[in-house]
Structure 1
C-alpha cells in the first residue's frame, strides 16, 4: 500500500503521440488527465483550470513497461568480485538494490517481478523489504512483485553456494532461505515465503547454463516435489515461476501446473505446443544469450553457453511463431540493470512485431502478475506513463531512449525531448 499523499492539482500530460496498446494504434496527439495516482481521462474534453500542464513535445506516450524477471538484490554498483555472496551482508545487499531499483525505474520499467533471492539473509525477505520501502515512498523504484527466496534443492541451479563451487559448510543455508529437499521441506519453504510477504513463488525445476552440477536443463526437483510446491502456492492464490530449460524438466513443470516458465531455452516443439495448449506464460530472457558477459566464467561453463545460447534463440523464435504467451523479462543482472529494453529489441529480432514486444512488457506482463490496473493508458488505471522519441511501432529501439517516467502520477524522470 502506498503512503497517503497530500492531494495535488490534476496533471494534464501532453505529447505529440500516444500508443493505444490494445488497438495497436498511435493516437495523435497524446493527452492524459491525471489525478493523484490514476488516469481519469484520455483526450480530455475539458481540463480543470488548476491543472498542471506537462507538455513533452515530440515524443510518444507509452504505458510503463514491466520486467518479469529481475533480481534487484544482485549486480549493480561494484559487483564484479566473485566473492559477493560471502562479502555482502544483508544490509549492503539491500542498499545495492536501492541503486538498482532507481536505475530500473528511470529506464522506464515501472513494475518488476523480483524472481527469487538466492543469498544468505538469515531468513529475511529482502525483496519484500525493498517493496515496502518503495511503496512508502522512502526510495525510488518500480512496483515490486517479490518472490522471497527461490526454492531450490541442495546443489540446484539457485543454490548460491553452487555458483562459485564453495567448499562444504561455507555459507550454510536454511529451508527458510529456500534450500529444500523432499516434499515436506519444499512445502515448509513455500509457506515461509508466503508468510513473510512473497507474492509469487520461484522454483528451480532444472539445471542452468551457469550450473557446475550437471548439464543445462537436467531436471532437479522430482515430480512429487514440483507438485507440492505448486499445491502450496496455488492454495494461497499465488502463481509459480520455474527456472526451467530442458525437455524432461519442462514437461514435469507443466504437468505439475507451473504457471510461468523462465527461459525455456531447450524446449522441443512438443513442449512449446503444451505451453500454448495450457496457456502457460514464458519469460524468454532471450537477450541474455547475446548480451551476458561469460568471459569470467569457468571454461566448461563458457563451452556450455556456446552450445546452448544459439539453440535457445531458435527455440524462442519457434515459441513466438507458435503463439506462446511471452512476457518480457531480462534476468538482470545477467544483463545490467537499466538496460531492460534490450529484451524488447531481442524479441523483435527473434520474430515478434514491435507491437507484440511492447505488449509482452505491458498487457501480457500485467496479466501474468494479475494486475488489471496497469499496462494500458486508459481511464481508471494507474498513471504509469513513459515517453520515448519517434514511433516505437516502426523502431522498437526507441524504447532504450526513455525521456520521461511517471509512476502513480509522480514524475521520476523528465528530460527535454529535444535533448
Structure 2
C-alpha cells in the first residue's frame, strides 16, 4: 500500500531540502521525493498532510544493549528504527532476537572481547569464553564472532593498568577483524583508553573520557586515521553522577565532544541504552536518543549536525547503505515530527508518525 505525505518539509539525512515536498513510499522502499503539487505524487492509497511537519529518516542509535525483546518496541515507539547492539549473549539469545523480527531493526557485536582483569569480566553471567589476555586468543575470538554472524567486533579498552585489553591483544583483534571485513568498536571511557584505541587503529570509539581532556595530538591522529566516535553522552552524564566521589566529571566528556567536533571528527549518536543489573546509570531505550541529541547540541553540534549523527552518518560509518537518508530506492524507515528539528533539536520528540520498512507503527496518526 502506497503512502503519500504531502507538503512536508524533508530533512533527507544530510540537509533540509528547500521548499515543501510530496513523499511517496510503500513496503518496498521510498518511491519518490518531489516538490509539492506534482501530479505523479498523488497516486497513493493513504495520504497524510505534512503541513507544519518535518519528515526525517528513521533514527539510528549506534549504542544499545538489548536484554529483553520488548526494548526493541520501546526504541521504535520513539523513532529509532535501527539499533546497534554492543554486547549480546548468549548466542542463543542473539539468534532469538534476530529471528523474531520484533520492533526496530537490530544489529549486534555479540559478546565483546574482554580481559580477565577488567570490571567487565565481573559482569554477572558474562561468558568466560569471551575473555582473553593474549593475541592468539583475541584472533580466535574474532573468528568465532565472524562465524556467529556478528555485524562488527566490540573490544573493551581501559587506561593502561586498569584492566582493559593490552595494546598488543587489541591490535591482534583489530587486524583479524579487518581481515574479515568487520568494523571494530572499542569501549573507551577514559583518555588512556582513547590513546590505545587510536594506537591500534579501531574504527569507532564509543563513550567519552570522564577523567581528563584529550590531547590535541590524539585529535589529529583520530582524524588522520578516520576514527569516528559515539560518545554516548547520556550514559556518561549518568556515570559521572554515580562516580562523582571518584573524581569522574561529565565536563571532560562534554569538552571531548566539543574538541573532537572542532577537529572534524565524525561524531555519531548513541545512547548506551541499558537496563542491565549493576550499570551505573539507567538509560532508557527510545527516550534516551532525544536526550542524546540535546546533549550533542549542547556540546557544540548544530541541530543539523546532531540529526546527521543519528541518521546518515551512523548509516555511512556502519555500512548500512539502504537506510539513513530519505531518497528513492532506500528503505522507508521514516519519522514524522511536528515542527522543524533543524532549528530546534528538541522537536525530535514531537513524534507524529514512525514507519519501519514502509509500514506504520502503533501510534502513527
TM over 0.5: yes
1:17 aligned to which of 9, 33, 40: 9
Structure 2 contact 138–173 (Cα < 8 Å) conserved: yes
**How much has 1:400 moved relative to structure 2?**
2.0
1:220 aligns with 2:168: no
The 1:323–1:377 alpha-carbon spacing in structure 2 relative to 1, beyond 3 Å, is: same
Q: CA deviation at 1:246?
A: 3.3
1:251-400 matches, cutoff 5 A: 251-265=195-209, 266=212, 267-291=214-238, 301-304=243-246, 306-333=247-274, 334=281, 335-339=283-287, 340-400=289-349
Distance 1:129 1:228, change over 3 A: farther
The answer to whether the 8 A contact 2:22-2:41 is kept is no
Partners of 2:201 and 2:225 within 8 A in 1: no
1:188-207 map, 5 Å? 188-206=140-158
TM-aligned CA deviation for residue 48 of structure 1: 6.5
The count of residues paired between Structure 1 and Structure 2 equals: 351
Q: Aligned in 2, Cα 1:224/1:293: closer, same or farther, shift over 3 Å?
A: closer
4+ long deviations beyond 6 Å: none
**Are the counterparts in 2 of residues 125 and 148 from structure 1 also a CA contact under 8 Å?**
no
Structure 2: state its 5+ residue gaps. Answer: 275-280
Q: Equivalents in 2 of 1:110, 1:172: separation in Å?
A: 28
> Is residue 2:346 matched to residue 1:405?
no
2:167 matches 1:235: no
Partners of 1:69 and 1:331 within 8 A in 2: yes
TM-superposed CA distance for 1:198, in Å, is 0.5
Change (3 A) 1:30 1:172: closer
Alpha-carbon distance in structure 1 between the residues aligned to 2:361 and 2:317: 25
Which structure 1 segments of 5+ residues have no match?
1-8, 74-95, 165-170, 208-213, 296-300
Q: 1:81-130 CA distances to partner (integer Å, 9 max, x unpaired)?
A: xxxxxxxxxxxxxxx2x11110001111111110123x6x3xx2533431
1:52 maps to which residue? 46
Q: Contact 2:26/2:359 (CA < 8 Å) preserved in 1?
A: no
The question of whether the paired residues in 1 share the 8 Å contact of 2:119 and 2:163 is answered with: no
SS at match of 2:336: strand
TM-score by length of structure 1 reads 0.78
Alignment match, 2:277: none
Q: 1:274 and 1:50, CA in 2 relative to 1: closer, same or farther beyond 3 A?
A: closer
Distance 2:333 2:189 in 1: 33
Tell me, yes or no, if the aligned pair for 1:128 and 1:198 is still in contact at 8 Å.
no
Pair 1:173 & 2:127 matched: yes
Match of residue 278 from structure 2 = none
| CA positional deviation for 1:219 | 6.5
Calculate the TM-score normalised by the size of structure 2.
0.88
